[in-house]
Structures are given as structure tokens and as C-alpha cells.
Chain A
């Protein structure tokens, strides 16, 4: 049997083929890893102009309280994430994560207060488990509805001008704002966010109109289709975690340096402290720190240091201290870039550690994240 036969397709699948994409299996979908321009050019184009990404494989889910009240939906979701959802203003979005009873991360997600309900976007590989998790824990209070819509991201410094040609009001949106709008006479949901480190937008589109809207955007001379290869190098330079690589069920949010995503209301002495899975560990780590930490890593030489490379305290590889979780070449950084976990004793910026690559122990410097300056429109 053809291995690709079992793969799911997004509403833009045929368009990717038309554009000459090289397709690969990713999280059960047949997805474009790159187009003819290649990862390097696609990456640099996104940072210089605007890149368009198909992220329709991600799960788009509505969480709506059976009572119809936003507050009830927010409080229900707060029982699963260490994030202030009740305090999220209408039309605003926040990053968060589902935690498990050991205080580790089941998935990361984007959470929007949309009208009287919540709109969440979860990772493709986790979406079935996430929906089951929502059903099992808050299904008695909330209706959980998986949307059959496309999702595209338009990222880069030209994204706002490009999108403004279809909908002028987009220019007034701030980072993490979410608005209903009509694009090319199609009812869409636009958020000013993304995962590239650039200003940009994610656009949720009815599946049957996805090709129309996407082609309209691709007609713009500043816009190029960008594959998963460049999506990965862009998010790595931006210091953003990839679920399954940098965060998973063995990493806690404090180890992952994601304290910024856990607001005061959910911390010790906050208005709604705790009350999420693993809160004992997470609240304690928020106050006392964790034994290890996710850090940026900059290899000193030209050789990329990839995920799963072991990290050592010494150049002889005697004292193993951690592991690289994501790594590669950063086209904008013009150097290899990586991130990984090290003990707090080695987590200070400037600390030199060593990564094992093909039997050699290469010097790597703990570096501040991100590797590029984000241009979010705050």
C-alpha cells in the first residue's frame, strides 16, 4: 500500500502540489516541507516580506459553556491550564498549555476569548488527545466542537499591508488581537499572531473557501508560500517551543522557561491560584525555580547542532548535563542555533558547554532567546 494513501490532506493540498511543493508526512497529514525556492530563501523571504503557511493540520476547537456564559467556559478551561482565562478580554488571545498531574506539558495551545466562548488552536499531533482531554474533564459543563476549517498564517513585515488590501481594519489590530472579518467576501477569523517571530496573522477560513482566499493572498507580489522546513527554522530563531521536541510530558513549564505564560491570578496568592493539573509542582517551581532550564544555545563553530545531541560540562565529554531539543542553521542568524535543557548551574547566559556531534565535543555558548529580535506589533 502506498504510505501516503493513509495521510490526511488539508483543503490546500492540491494548491501545494500546483505550487511544486515537496510533500512529507507530518502529524498524519501530507504537508509541504518546502516549495521550489527552498528552505533558506523561504525563511529569508518571510523575514524580509511576507510568507504564507498552511497550518490547517492544527486543531481548531470551540469550547462553549452549556450555560452560554463566557465566565463558565473560562473557569472550566482554567481547570486544565495554568493560564488566566477569566481575565482574558473579548477579542484577545493568549498562549497556554495543558498540564498533567505530574506538572508536565500535554500540549501547548492558543486560547482566544471570542464572543461568548473560547476558540482554541492546538497542535496537529495532539488534537485528538486534546479533544478527548477536554471532553473527559469539562465535557459535562462545555460543548467541545472541532471546526472543519482551514488555517493559514501570513507572517512577515509586509503581512499587514498585504492583508489590509483585503480588509483595511486589520492595521488597527494589536499583537494577540482576534477579529471576525470578511476577506474576499468570505467570513474569516483573523488573529494578529503566529509562530515565526515576525509580525503577522493567522487566518481561519471555511474549508470550501480556503483556496480562494489563499490564492488571493498569494497573488500579491510580496507573498510566497512557505513550507514546514522554514516554519521550523523561523520558530527556532524566535526561541519558540515545538511541542514534541522542546516541550512534552517530561518537561514542566518552569523548566521550559514558560513562566511568562502563567499569569499572577493562577500563581500562589493569586485570585484563582492553582486548580490545574500538577499545580503543586508548578506553583512550587514558580517560586523556587526548577533544577534544569530550557536555554538558547549558540554553537561556536559552523557545524549545526541538532535535536538529541547530548550536552556536556567539559570538552572531553565526561560529565553529561543535558540534551539539545531543537537545533539547526538559522538563516537570519547566519549561524547555527539551538535550544536545549541544562542544569540551572549551567543556565546563565555566556556559560560554555559542549555538544556531542559525530563523536566530537563542540563548544556551545548558552545564549539569550530569541536569536532574532521579534517585530510583534504590541
Chain B
């Protein structure tokens, strides 16, 4: 199940684990990424905490944790090559996997149609 946040993150839900990344729209706004900093595996975050940082040539931006949960995996490939996020933001450019504290929290997220309307 694919969900979105108004802060331009996407979540692919598989049971109570969400793979999280930033949307194509977000990447277009940021431009070419030159640096990505990911959270530690095992770290716990509340919704809207700063979980990761991305930097373009011009500026740094935070990636927020979309829901309460614990980091179970991170995508080291985008640390080694941040351009992966630009080339495939909603695929190979994923950021981290988050084990949700409350699966029901995901119901409050946007579905794809609602997200597309938001950025239109």
C-alpha cells in the first residue's frame, strides 16, 4: 500500500514496516542532491522528527519521520551516491525502513490521488 505525507514523503507499507523515501515532486524541487545523512538503525522517532538530511548544491533540507516508529534498515546506496535519489526517488532512492509503533496511524496519511491533488 502506497501512502504519502504533505511533507512530500512516500511510504510503501508491508505489514507494519514502511519503506520511506521522498517524492518525485520533492526531488524536482530540491534539484541535484550531493549529500544524504541517514538515521541509525534502531533509532526511534516520533512523527515529524528530523530523521534524515538531504543537501543540494544550494541548501540543506530535513526529511521528517512520517509516523512514530523505529528504524530497521537504511539505504546506504544513496549515501554513497546521492544522485540515486534524483534518478529513482520512488524506487532505488528509498531512505529507510520504519517499523510503525501503531499500524493504524497510517490511516491518517494521504493516498496517491490526495497527494497528486496537493501538489497540482
Q: Which residues of A contact B (CB under 8 A)?
A: 33-34, 38-41, 43, 229-230, 232-233, 302-304, 306, 328-329, 331, 336, 358
Query: Contacts A303-B37, A303-B55, A304-B55 given: A40-B32 contact, CB under 8 Å?
Result: yes
Given A329-B55, A358-B53, A304-B31 contact (CB < 8 Å): no
B37 touches A39 (CB 8 A): no
Judge whether B31 and A34 touch: CB under 8 Å.
Answer: yes
Q: State the Cβ distance, B71 to closest chain A Cβ, in Å.
A: 17
Number of B residues with CB within 8 Å of any CB on chain A: 12
Stretch from B14-22, B56-64, B88-96, B97-105 contacting the other chain: B56-64
Instruction: Say yes or no for B77: interface residue by CB 8 A criterion.
Output: no
Contact of B31 among A40, A232, A303, A306 (CB under 8 A): A40
Taking the closest CB of chain A, its distance from the CB of B11, in whole angstroms, is 24
Which of A40, A302, A303, A358 sits near B57, CB closer than 8 Å?
Answer: A40
Task: Identify which of A34, A232, A329, A358 contacts B34 (C-beta below 8 A).
Answer: A329
Known: A233-B57, A306-B60. 20 other contacts (CB 8 A): A38-B32, A39-B32, A39-B56, A39-B57, A40-B31, A40-B32, A40-B34, A40-B57, A41-B32, A229-B31, A229-B57, A230-B57, A233-B58, A302-B34, A304-B34, A304-B55, A304-B60, A328-B58, A331-B57, A358-B53
Instruction: Report the nearest B residue to A301, measured CB to CB.
Output: B35
List, sorted by A's number, 15 A–B pairs whose CB atoms are closer than 8 Å: A33-B58, A34-B31, A39-B31, A39-B32, A39-B56, A40-B32, A40-B34, A40-B57, A229-B58, A232-B58, A233-B58, A303-B35, A304-B34, A328-B58, A329-B55
- Structural contact, A328 and B57, CB atoms closer than 8 A: yes
Q: Please report B residues at the A interface, Cβ cutoff 8 Å.
A: 31-32, 34-35, 37, 53, 55-60
CA A358 to CA B34, docked complex, whole Å = 17
Q: Tell me the minimal C-beta distance from A33 to chain B in angstroms.
A: 8
CA distance A40 to B53 in the complex (A): 19
Instruction: Using CB atoms, name the residue of chain A closest to B62.
Output: A358
Q: Do most interface residues of chain A lie in helix, strand or loop, or is the interface mixed?
A: mixed
A230's closest neighbor in chain B, by CB?
B57
- Contact (Cβ within 8 A) B57 A43: yes
Residue on B nearest A40 in the bound complex, by CB: B32
Q: Within the assembled complex, what's the spacing in Å between the Cα atoms of A233 and B57?
A: 7
Nearest CB in chain A: distance from B7 CB, A: 18
CA distance A328 to B58 in the complex (A): 6
Alpha-carbon distance A230/B37, docked complex (angstroms): 23
Q: How far is the CA of A329 from the CA of B53 in the complex (A)?
A: 15
For B32, what are the chain A residues with a Cβ–Cβ distance below 8 Å? 38-41
Q: Which residue of A lies closest to B29 (CB)?
A: A22
Q: Point out the residues of chain B lying under 8 angstroms from A304, CB to CB.
A: 34-35, 55, 60
Cα separation A336 to B55 with both chains bound (whole Å): 11
A152 to B113 alpha-carbon distance, docked (Å) = 44
Give the distance in Å from the alpha carbon of A257 to the alpha carbon of B74 in the complex.
44
Residues of B within 8 A of A331 (CB): 57
Shortest beta-carbon distance from A304 to chain B in Å? 5
From A33, A34, A302, contact of B35 by CB (8 A): A302
How long is the Cα–Cα vector from A302 to B83 in the complex, in angstroms?
A: 14
- A233–B56 Cα distance when bound, in Å, is 11
